[in-house]
Amino acid sequence: MADWTPDQPILEIDNLSISFFTRLREIPAVMDFSCSVMAGEAMGLVGESGCGKSTVALAVMRYLGKTGRITEGSIRFKGRDLTTMSEAELARIRGSEIAMIYQEPMASLNPAMTIGAQLAEVPMIHEGMSKADALKLARQIVADVRLPDPDRMLASYPHQLSGGQQQRIVIAMALMSKPALLILDEPTTALDVTVEAGIVDLVKDLGEKYGTSMLFISHNLGLVLEVCDRITVMYSGEAVETGAVAEVFNTMRHPYTQALFRSIPLPGADKNSRPLVAIPGNFPLPHERPQGCNFGPRCDYFQDGRCNGADVPMADVGPRHESRCLRWSEIDWDAPIAARKTHEKTPVGEVVLRMEDLRKYYEVAGGGVFGGGMKKVVKANETLSFEAREGETLAIVGESGCGKSTFAKVLMGLETATSGKIMLYDRDIQNTPIEKRNVDTVSGVQMVFQNPFDTLNPSMSVGRQIIRALEIFGQGASDEDRKQRMLELLDLVKLPRAFADRMPRQLSGGQKQRVGIARAFAGGAKVVVADEPVSALDVSVQAAVTDLLMDIQRENRTTLLFISHDLSIVRYLSDRVMVMYLGHVVEMGSTDQVFQPPYHPYTEALLSAVPIADTHVKKNRIVLEGDIPSAMNPPPGCPFQTRCRWKSQVPGGLCEREVPPIRDLASGHQIKCHLPAEVFATMEPVIQIAAE
């Protein structure tokens, strides 16, 4: 400790290798990983799932479990080597000098203790502080993480808080002992975008205020750009590129980093003129890594005999900028992306689906021992009206609780509408539950689900699941016929035919999602509801699955209802956008209309909240206060009035009294807001691309 001075790195990881030992073999999870974090610096650790970024974080805390072991290298924290430290020494450092924040806030809080008691515990254990002092400190820190009414917060139990509030408490707990290093492992992945924006803001400010160094782990490049000073990109257990954030974003020197950036939609990207470039192939399994460069088999610049020869070392490519590529000095990094196939925008056809004033209310029993007591009405959907045409992509955007899943259920026939109309072609289907719908209607409206790990039945082979869909949709005359159709469907979603006999657990997330798509199209679906089909996939796979969906849509002229909260991807692929908040459609229009002012105040905040991985983009930062109100207990008047920053512009408190009417601003552009036209005219674009 004596020989450490603040101008040396707080955390210095040197040639770290970590392996997990299973009964079959040793699985190397991290190989030859080095990085250093200076005092007050925020280091971003980016990579796809399974690349070893969380393992590095856990190794810093020495929480590798029974099977994990550090096989080589050192982790020095303030000059002391953590890898050789005793349990007692570690216990002193954990939680006091190094603190960790996990993805799932509820899992880090003890549900049986009040927030105050949990927070006070930290300094009481580490510094022997008295309970009264500890509570006083807790109160101050809770105020620091910008939670309203700190005294009430301290007295509540974790389940009484919302997800965003819980994560703020976890951050407060980490800050209680003023740690020198904060490790954040995907701290906002479980939260909604507008809530995420608030947390990111908070983390950034706290870093500056307390001078804490941070190791920020994320798969989201945009978030890293907002929070971090430096970035390390990991691929398959190795750091492939490290450097200052702006440098890596603008002048990347590793093919994987480049491919990663080309596979995410940036503002200005369009599915027809500038399609995304997916990274070919799949992420290698830890025990199936190739010789030489791990990225070799998927790399555009691969050279046989050289890239797959010996292990590739890190090379200096600039001041504190390193890349693990043999050819970094030979590649022309500014070359334009090789000729990509562009598509004509497909013309939209007839109206296929029409909703008129659709409402869906639920009655919820209001507690009581035997379900008696007051009944409460949850208004999941309020006066939903729209049309969707053949070959069109309509995006439905909103955060949790906005009613998009309820809407999907009503459309699919899993629930019936409370009032209003759903017309599929010329049939009314709002009151026909799925068991009464005919095979045509059922197979004509299908769904692609969000979670790839849940969408397939784990105990049924892939082929069998597709064949079942064919059977139930009455496709094919015989078993052989259906088998043939199933193989063709696998071709359609670009999976090898051999996958028919595989079990779902043998498939990667992206491959499972492809099977899900094949299953949805088994009966020649006319309308496909895609419920966040790529949000759970890794970035490099997202592009491929999105493209596949677009290709199939183009060929079959399917109407796609694309439910998502990711505005980048919505902007990239949709023709029209519908923004929902607490069951209301607050804005609807063509993609250009929605992404340019005038905005609905909620759309504006949503646009501003989405992290964008481009240093040229300038954003108008709007962070919403508070959380999304519960649908059980919506605010009176306009649903958004509790968080709206424009509310003062409407005279007479109209927002708190009346639900705004739907107003047509331009052809097809509707906004549900009380704001006068003059105010709309003054709105500025949230996202601007700076001139280069």
The count of chain residues that interact with another protein, using the rule CB under 8 A, is: 33
| 446 contacts another protein (rule: CB under 8 A) | yes
Q: Which stretch binds another protein (CB under 8 A): 209-217, 381-389, 449-457, 605-613?
A: 449-457
Q: Which of 76, 324, 360, 437 binds another protein (CB under 8 A)?
A: 437
Among 457, 484, 630, 688, interactor with another protein by CB under 8 A = 457
Structural contact between residues 521 and 440, judged by C-beta atoms closer than 8 angstroms? no
Restricting to residues 496-555, name those near another protein by CB under 8 A. 516, 519
42, 119, 225, 469: which one binds another protein (CB under 8 A): 469
Q: Does 66 bind another protein (CB under 8 A)?
A: no
Distance of CA 173 to the CA centre of its chain: 25
Kindly compute the dihedral angle of the four CA atoms of residues 676, 677, 681, 683, in this order, to the nearest 10 degrees: 40
Asked if 67 contacts 238 with a C-beta cutoff of 8 angstroms, the reply is no
| Residue 397 beta carbon to another protein: minimum distance, rounded to whole angstroms | 21
User: Minimal distance in Å, beta carbon 414 to another protein?
Assistant: 6
Q: How far apart are CA 629 and CA 359, in angstroms?
A: 19
458 binds another protein (CB under 8 A): yes
Q: Which whole-number Å values give the CA distances from 459 to 450, 455, 465, 518, in the listed order?
A: 19, 12, 10, 18
In angstroms, give the least distance from the CB of 467 to another protein.
10
Cα dihedral sign, 525-539-228-73: positive
Regarding 404 and contact with another protein (CB under 8 A), the answer is: no
Among 211, 349, 366, 474, binds another protein (CB under 8 A): 474
Contact residue for another protein among 269, 442, 654, 679 (CB under 8 A): 442
Give the number of other Cβ atoms within 10 Å of residue 373's Cβ.
Answer: 11
Q: Dihedral, CA atoms, 322, 328, 331, 335, nearest 10 degrees?
A: -10
Cross-strand pairs, 233: 46, 241
Minimum Å distance from CB 350 to another protein?
A: 24
Q: Tell me the HSE value of 657 on the side-chain side, using a 13 A CA sphere.
A: 5
d(CA 672, CA 664): 9
Q: How far is the CB of 580 from another protein (least distance, A)?
A: 20
Minimum CB separation of residue 458 from another protein in Å reads 6
Rounded to a whole number of angstroms, the minimum distance from the CB of residue 74 to another protein is 30
- Backbone torsions φ then ψ of 415, nearest 5 degrees: -135, 155
Residue type, 127: E
Subset of residues 110 to 169 that bind another protein, contact rule: CB under 8 A: none
CB of 324 to another protein, least distance (A): 30
The reply on whether position 454 binds another protein by CB under 8 A is yes
Residue 345: DSSP 8-state: P
Looking at residue 108, its amino acid is S
Determine the Cα–Cα distance for residues 39 and 56; give it in Å rounded to an integer: 19
Residue 337 binds another protein (CB under 8 A): no
| 107 sits near another protein (criterion: CB under 8 A) | no
Locate 651 and state its tokens. 């005279």
Instruction: Give the range of 44-52, 111-119, 189-197, 412-420 binding another protein by CB under 8 A.
Output: 412-420
Chain contacts with another protein (rule: CB under 8 A): 22-23, 412-414, 434-435, 437, 439, 442-443, 445-447, 449-451, 454-460, 468-469, 471-474, 479, 516, 519
